[in-house]
Chain A
Amino acid sequence: GQNIDQPTEMTATEGAIVQINCTYQTSGFNGLFWYQQHAGEAPTFLSYNVLDGLEEKGRFSSFLSRSKGYSYLLLKELQMKDSASYLCAGLILTGGGNKLTFGTGTQLKVEL
């Protein structure tokens, strides 16, 4: 199967750090993406992990453990504009090319 699980929603305080977890139970994933989607807008690419470990990009970091089927997105110094849905997606390599399978998304609300 290709199940990808994320918490449905999270709340955090401006200036704080939040970790959004993503677990997957699948064979055939060749990498893990994180996307951000503000309400009414298209998803935008945030980060990608293909190897185990931490990838850091400014205030955003993403971690992957392939053996555990686990990833997280870490957001530091939270800002109000970070209120959005965060989607993790597994990359699948097929004979016809790459495709992404998305998780259910985590709605993050940043409060004062």
Chain B
Amino acid sequence: SAVISQKPSRDICQRGTSLTIQCQVDSQVTMMFWYRQQPGQSLTLIATANQGSEATYESGFVIDKFPISRPNLTFSTLTVSNMSPEDSSIYLCSVEGIAVSIPGGTQYFGPGTRLLVL
């Protein structure tokens, strides 16, 4: 499986500010995703980060609030813009693993970024 790192691991931010989260993978991957996991909740897909083109956002998420970059096949960023306390959450990136030994569609997750907005 791919080794995925995220920075920062956690942060405390003031409302109205923005935070950019980085996701780095140790190998080239086609599919990268960004999720949000609010306290005690399951994972909600924010968007699919597409290399070389605009991200594909899920219903309820918009580019102005969650701009995403994907400059190459190993790196992506998610920005949480104009933050409010409701944005306090864990943000996780994931990649789809590609190998004959694993089922198609299997995703591997980064360690997450714990964000608290005051």
> Interface size (A, Cβ < 8 Å)?
22
Interface assignment of B88: CB less than 8 Å from any CB of chain A? no
At the interface, is chain B mostly helix, strand, loop or mixed?
loop
Partner of A103, one of B42, B106, B107: B42
For A93-112 the 0/1 string (1 means CB < 8 A from B) is 00011111111110000000
Across the interface, do B43 and A102 meet the contact criterion of CB distance under 8 Å? yes
Asked if A43 meets B109 with Cβ closer than 8 Å, knowing A96-B50, A97-B96, A99-B48, the reply is yes
Q: How far is the CB of B93 from chain A (nearest CB, A)?
A: 10
Which residues of A lie under 8 Å from residue B41 when comparing CB positions? 104-105
Which residues of A lie under 8 Å from residue B31 when comparing CB positions? 97-98
Across the interface, do A104 and B103 meet the contact criterion of CB distance under 8 Å? no
Which residues of A lie under 8 Å from residue B50 when comparing CB positions? 96
Which residues of B lie under 8 Å from residue A50 when comparing CB positions? 103
Across the interface, do B105 and A33 meet the contact criterion of CB distance under 8 Å? yes
At the interface, is chain A mostly helix, strand, loop or mixed?
strand
Across the interface, do B42 and A45 meet the contact criterion of CB distance under 8 Å? no
Q: A-side interface residues toward B, CB under 8 Å?
A: 30-31, 33, 41-45, 48, 50, 87, 91, 96-105
Q: How far is the CB of B90 from chain A (nearest CB, A)?
A: 9
Across the interface, do A100 and B107 meet the contact criterion of CB distance under 8 Å? yes
Apart from A42-B109, A42-B112, A96-B50: 14 A-B pairs, beta carbons within 8 A: A30-B105, A33-B103, A33-B105, A45-B102, A45-B108, A48-B103, A91-B105, A97-B96, A98-B104, A98-B105, A100-B105, A102-B43, A104-B41, A105-B42
